[in-house]
Structure formats: C-alpha cells, structure tokens
Structure 1
C-alpha cells in the first residue's frame, strides 16, 4: 500500500508539474513581447483628482510663506552657479502648498521646514548631480522608473535584492537622483509618486548600515515632503512582515491607506503599465542598463555635467522638460489643515508613536540593519519607500523638519582636553559603553575619574541599566576600583521607584507587577513599594503549550496590582507578558489608581526604551526591545523613565545642585545620552567605545549631534 501511495504521489506531482509548466507557458505566450523600453507617459484616462479653489485664508498663508522664503533668499543669496536652479525651485507654487500641508497649516513650522530644505539643497545640489557620478549604482536595476499609476503618478520600482554596492554617499546621491528624475516625469497636475518596494531576492547581506537608511529617511521626510503618494511593499519576508504587523495599529487611518502590503497592484496601476513580475501585469519589461539609463537621461534632458541639455529648461512644479508645468488652478481636495492635500498626506505626519519608531531604527550602525528595523532587507531603497510613505523610520528622522545638529568639536589634543576641564564643573557619566563594557573597564577611565575629583569636579553616574540597584552598582564600582557614593548613582530602576512614590503618589497598599530583575525589586523595596512578579519563581516557569488555566486564577492575576514596571529581564517569559497584559487591559486600567481598592487603574512604566545595550560580544537586545510585545498587545503608551526622558532628569535635579551651563553629559548613545543632555540644556560629549558611531553625526542631516566627540574617555588620562 505504501509503495502504491508513494507511486501515486509521484504521478500526481509529475502531473501537477506538467500542468504548472503548461500554465506558465500559456501565460508567457499571452504576454506582449519583452521590451527594454521604459514607459514615460501615463496610460489613457490616468489623471490626478481635481482640486477646488483655495480659500482666502489659504491664499494668505501661502503668500506669507512664499514671501518669507523669497526674503530669506534675497538676504542670503546662493552661490552664483547654483542661483538658476534655486530660482526655478522657489518659483514652483506647489512647493508652498506641500510644505504648508506637511506642517498641518502651521505657518511658522512650514517656514522652518522650507528654510531647512533650502539650505540642504544648496549643499546637496540635487538638481545637478552628474549622471556619470551615480551610474554604477543603476547597473543592476535596483531602481527602475517606468510607468504611472491610475492617478498619473510616476511609478518607481525599488528592488533591494538587486543591491550591487556597499553603503556610501554615492548610494544616497543615486537615491536622490532617482527621486529628482521621478519629479521630472510628473505630468501636469501631479506632485507625488508611487513606490513599489519588491523584497524578492533580498537578503540581510544586501542591507546597508542604518546610517545610510537614516540619512535617506531624513532627506525624504524633511526635504521631499508630500512627494510620496503611495507605497506598495511586496514579497515581504516573514520577519519583516511581523514587524509591519506590529506597527500597523499605530498608523493613522490616512497613512494606513497609503501603505499597502502585498497588495493587488492592478487595482492601482493599469495592467498595461504594471510589470509582469506582479500578478496581472502585462508590461513585459526586460531591464537593460544602457537602454534604461540613456532613456532616462535623454527624456529628462540631463547633460553629462548634471545641468540640462535644453537651454530654456526651468522646472516649475512638475513635468519633464518637454511637458507643460502644472496649472496653478488645477484641482485637489482639502483637509483639516486648510491646505489642499495630496493623496499622500503622510510625510510630515506622526505615523508611528515615538517609542515604536525608535525601536525600529536604533540599531548599531556597524552591525548592519536590524532584522526588525525599517532598513532591514530593504536597504537604502526600502528606507525611501517606507520612511517617505509612512514615517515608519522616523526615529531616525525628525517629524518637524528642525535639525538639532551643529558643529561639534573633536577632542584630540591635551590643549583641547584642558579647555574642557576649564569650561565644566559637573560631569554626568553614562556607565555601559563609557566607563566599562560588560565586565571590562574602558582603559584609562578609572584614572580619568580620579583626576576629575582631584580637580574638584562633581561626578554623577546616570545609567539606563535597570538590572542592578544602586547598592549593587556600588559594589560593581568598588570591584572596578571606581570611587563612588550611592548618592552619585542614578539608575533607571531607582528613578522608576522614585517616580512611582513621589510623582504618582502610588498608594501604599497597592502592588507593582515587575517584568525585570533584582535591581528594580531592590529599589522598590527601598521606597517601601509592594511588588510581585520579577524574580518570583512562580513567574519564571514555562507554561504547558496552550494551557491558560493557571493564568485564570485569582492568585495569578492579583487585583491589588496598580502598576506594571517593565525593564531588562533575562528571564522574560510568556507568563510575565500574559500577567502584565491582563493588568494593563482590565476594565478601567487607564483610570486612577486608588488606595484601598482593587482593580481599576494600572500605571504602565518602562524603566528605559534602549533597543540594545553594549556588552562583550554585543550589542544585545535591551529593555526597549523586550517591551514591544506588551506595547503592541495592550495598545497603551507607557511612561518611559530613563534617558532621554524627563523623569530621569527630574530625579537628578531634585537631588543634585549644579549650574547647567557648566555641566556636561558624557555618553555613547546619541538617542539616549546626547538627547538627554539636550533635553536638560547641558553640554554633551560622545565617546566612541559604545553604541553610536562617528558616521552618524557626520551625516549631512544628522538629527542629533553632540557638542564634543572623543574616541574614548580614557583619552583624557593624558591630562596631568
């Protein structure tokens, strides 16, 4: 019988294979012949939606924004050789509509954003990138601009699986070059594009560093506002699909409608212009680099030096050189901001809550893109599509277009070190990645701390590590020969306990459910706060598969719990997540926590939201990464206590006296330590012995830049 079934199975398999082969042959036979030609005109009937006339108030705001930019240009003219290109850019009436839309009608915000873009364009000069400078990036067809969707938007296909180069500024320049060509190809009345991101064949080896993805996201979100009409993400790998599923609940309805995952593309793109690689497509395109490149360059009128072959060329709005620009009275619908929205009212919106954004983008640059990050398997191309379409990479990009960067001082001499000593009296130190890495002290760090104390400097230790209490930290300091007093140590576990007791006035008879280790429990004990979970053996066991009976008893879900504190936990388990979930989602959980009562309100607190932390062999997943399942399942926004958030700062200010103007934060992470300094309006010094890298602050649109940079804290040991 078994041999019969086996033989029957082989026969069925062979029959199916034959039928499948015939089906493929049949489909191929019905398709038009293969072509190397790209499509540079929309299909018949594919036109943008009409737009009504603007109101008097809308016209007034646009006029003010236009006057502001023209006055700024008159007072601060560009270099002579760039002046014609800038004049063409600022002459576009739709430019001001887009920036006011992106600012949700906030005129002052729009002024800041458009001025920021003007300065970026003067530096980057996107209109005049010579084709020869970036042509090698296009050789494999990782970007293909061909065809239009049903609303007349140019379609840009991005295929990370065809990545052919390593991360570089040329990669980014090619992305910008492709965007500029898409703008050139916009028909009259169209001011945004459609992006198809195809992950087919993509691997983690084709990923760039997050520095590249971050820079791309910043450029798109800050300098190509309202240019992304739709983003279609296709052939999504399972691990990225899980990430996209996780962020979907945090997307606003407008943005959610603009990003489609594994969508039926023929609903949005005419089948005669849809690549045959997608279901229903009849555009049988066969990529040939020479044909593609020459067509794009010729159609857009690009000279070899990046200028235009048409002497009279001046892009005013949309359209290639041989197309009319858009009519200023062309119609579009309006939104609540009082400015006519495009079908892509998303680039300046807050698509994903800040916490989820940061976890998507805060991975170590030197270790490539994270599997859960927005740049993972998408490369810089994917960063264009997602960051532009839904701000999902935002953490990595600002939402208001205002950069916090400025020139930093790279400390590399004894004279520079001495000046630092003279300028500051209070030194706040992060620990992991600054004083030590894992259980190994950073060379020279101990000596530097001793020299600071001899000079009469105040030393404060500020760490997001919640796995240890201050008492335990004190022992670690002693073991590493570092002089410290418990009053000088501020950890996120300590700050969480103080925040509960002194800020939230947590009732003495209510309990805290802990996802974390001894450090949190010891600090709660020190503040006299009752707690459960954490290291309790009953919460550190594995449940039988799909057996939820033990989670349904009164003992399991304690009604006296009035807060959940989530920190770093090396024994994270389903039982902990399940119990925390139940506390945070019970009826009235977002209400007040009352003394003498059960159930009702339940605070949600994260000790810190670091996605990773430095240790030997690291970085490793941090407390922020462990919190994502709880945030996603409860759909609640936690209060985050650790750096760079305000509760930690309040805790330090309440107990330490110092002049902020003569205080400096020393840290290894831009998004926590350096942001923390900026939040507290104190100076910052970044070391390169931990997470962040110099490349991140050297990027043209780096969001966060320290005041000072040094290779290692130990370098200061050169001081007498």
Structure 2
C-alpha cells in the first residue's frame, strides 16, 4: 500500500517527490505503522544524545533499512557516521574541495556520473582496468582521492538525486553503477587493494542504501565462479542488485540504460563534447530540474552561486 511519507516539520523540508517507486516495505511511501514508530524512536534517541543534523525522515529510513529496522543498530551506525564526518571535515570539504587534477587522474582511473538509466537514476561508471596507482600518485594523493570520493557522495545526495527525482516525478535515492573490468588482471589487485578497501568502507558505513543496480561488465574468465562464492557472504537484497556480465553485456545493459545516455565506448550513442567522462551530463546540470544544494546556500537561503553546481568527478559504487 502506498501512502504519503510521514514527515516531521522540524527536520523535513523536501523540494522534490518523497514517494519511492520501490514498492517494498520500509521504503518512503511504503512504511508500516511500526516502521514509522521506529523512525520516531530513532530520531528521539538521537536528539536526546545531542544530534541536530541529518535527522530527516528519509535519512532515518535509510539507516534503519541498512540495519534491518533494528533501532539500536541503526543508532550506532548513525553515531559512528557522525563521528567520522566530524573527523573527516565533510561539511567544510564539500564546500571548498577543488579536484583540479581530475582530468589527469582520469587518464588512469576514469570514474564519473553520466546521465540517467531508464528509471531516471544517475548512472555511475568506473573503468577499473586502467588503474595505475603508481602513476596517479605522481599527480594526486590517496588522501585527495578519498576526499574527492566523499565530496562526490555528498553531491550525489544533493543536487544529483533531487534533480533526478524532480524530473522523474518520484523519489530516487540510488544509482545505477557500471564497473568495467576490461583489463583488470591479478597483477593489479594487490596495488589497489588498500585504496579500494578504504573507499568501500566509506561506502558501506557512511552512505548506506545508495546502490540501485550494479553491472560488472567485461568480467574476466573465472570471475563468475569467484563471485558465486562471494555471494554467500552478501546480503540477499544486495545480491539481487548485482549483475555479472562478460564481453557480451550490451543487450542487458541497454535494457537498463537508454542508448542515447550510454557512452559510445560501451555500445551507446552518446559522445559528449570533450568526452563523456568529464562532461557530468545529467538533470543536475539542467536549470529546469536542479536547485542549488542546501550545503551551498547562505544563512538566508540564497545560493552562493547563480549557476548549477558542477558535480563532475567520482564516487565509489555503493555496496549496500
């Protein structure tokens, strides 16, 4: 049964649709009275602990879904997240970070948002086969790569997803991720493990419930067998979102992403001027659908910039 999202006027100020197209229990617009009570319980406990930010209903629901609506576990996850945000300086970072070396970094590790899938969600693309950390660390640092990762998660939450929600007319909270494994060999695994481990931890622990679908394309021989073992350690809900495809991936991928939205490199027809990887094309760049993100507004509510905020660059794919 679909109903209006039960909101709290103290924290909820949404400028986009709030009913999820995902008709599953616990998703916005599809909650039970018990789940609504758990949102209230979680928020109340966090207020009593002194928290005042990010207590809106959609955020509470994401943390509760990530912990199977166990209020105590969701509270601990939120507290850990806030501690990390303060230590990492997230709120200031998203306003001031300048990833000026991005074009050069992308020569070795292309990772970018590009337009939307058929459900209206942002498409996020990574080409893992090109990773060369030794070369990248002559251009940037692991610290700046992780800072960029975090900034892009913040920009995914606002303005990317709100713009996509306005255009589609329904709440969109997740991404469609494409990870191209072409060229990935065993020799590269050890060199990138440390960075990937850190990036994955940030994804799982601090940005829950952001994965819509994940397509692993150009999977090398034997990858499916390895993944079948890994699936045993993953949540069944997460497993349903992951699709492992070999070199003949185009039919299935084009079933999810419109041909005109998919870069020609992957069998689509899109060829953005200057290259799709650096274009950051999407509803979040269209004044008809986007608004200045709340983190970029002054105390009076005015935007610090009159133009749509540039959100080009990258974030690691969500894993839960």
- Aligned CA distance change for structure 1 residues 291 and 234 (closer, same or farther; 3 Å): closer
For residues 297 and 208 of structure 1, the distance between their equivalents in structure 2, rounded to whole angstroms, comes to 34
Look up the match of 2:15: none
- Whether 1:70 aligns to 2:33 is no
CA contact (8 A) 1:160 1:206 kept: no
Match of 1:96 in 2: 60
CA distance in 2, matches of 1:268, 1:168: 33
Give the Cα separation in 2 of the matches to 1:290 and 1:234. Answer: 17
- Pairwise CA distance, 1:301: 7.7
Query: CA 1:291–1:108 in 2, change beyond 3 Å: closer, same or farther?
Result: closer
Q: State the Cα distance separating 1:218 from its structure 2 match.
A: 1.4
C-alpha spacing 1:213/1:290, structure 2 compared with 1 (3 Å): closer
Pick from 289, 292, 309 the counterpart of residue 279 of structure 2: 292
| In 2, Cα distance between equivalents of 1:248 and 1:173 | 30
Alignment TM-score, normalising by the size of structure 2: 0.68
Distance 2:191 2:280 in 1: 24
Please give the per-residue CA displacement for 1:608-651, whole angstroms capped at 9, x wherever unaligned.
xxxxxxxxxxxxxxxxxxxxxxxxxxxxxxxxxxxxxxxxxxxx
> Is the 1:229–1:389 contact (alpha carbons within 8 Å) kept by the matching residues of 2?
no
Describe the shift of the 1:152–1:310 C-alpha distance in structure 2 as closer, same or farther (beyond 3 A). Answer: farther
Structure 1 distance, partners of 2:41, 2:121, is 29
Q: Does the CA contact (< 8 Å) of 2:203 and 2:319 recur in 1?
A: no
Distance, in Å, in 2 between the alignment partners of 1:238 and 1:283 is: 29
Asked which structure has the greater CA Rg, the reply is 1
Q: From the superposition, tell whether residues 138 and 71 of structure 1 become closer, same or farther in structure 2 (CA, over 3 Å).
A: farther
Shift of 1:102: 0.9
2:261 to 245, 260, 273: 273
1:174 deviation in Å? 1.6
1:227 shift after superposition: 1.1
Matched, 1:135 2:117: no
- 1:256 paired residue among 218, 221, 239: 239
Distance 1:68 1:100, change over 3 A: same
Inter-CA distance 152–176: structure 2 relative to 1 (3 Å threshold): same
Aligned to 2:88: 124
Give the corresponding residue for 1:185: 160
Compute the TM-score of the two structures, normalised by the length of structure 1: 0.32
Secondary structure (helix, strand or coil) at the match of 1:185 reads helix
Distance 2:238 2:297 in 1: 39
- Unaligned 5+ segments in structure 2 are 1-19, 166-170
Shift of 1:97: 0.3
Give the Å deviation of 1:295. Answer: 9.0
Instruction: For residue 179 of structure 1, report the CA deviation from its aligned partner.
Output: 2.2
Partner in structure 2 of residue 564 of structure 1? none
* Residues 294 and 198 of structure 1: CA distance in aligned 2, closer, same or farther (over 3 Å): closer
Distance change in 2, residues 1:295/1:170 (3 Å): farther
Q: Work out whether 1:112 is the aligned partner of 2:76.
A: yes
Partner residue, 2:124: 156
Aligned to 1:375: none
Match of 1:389 in 2: 319
Q: Is the 8 A contact 1:103 1:109 kept in 2?
A: yes
More RCO (CA 8 Å, sep 6+): 2
Q: 1:173 to 1:238 in 2, by over 3 A?
A: farther
Choose from 198, 202, 222 the match for 2:180. 198
Contact 1:144 1:156 in 2 (8 A): yes
Aligned residues: 262
How much does 1:107 deviate?
Answer: 0.8
**Structure 1 pair 276–290 and aligned structure 2 pair: CA distance change class (3 A):** closer
SS of the residue corresponding to residue 238 of structure 1 reads coil
Q: Quick one: which of 170, 180, 195 aligns to 2:144?
A: 170
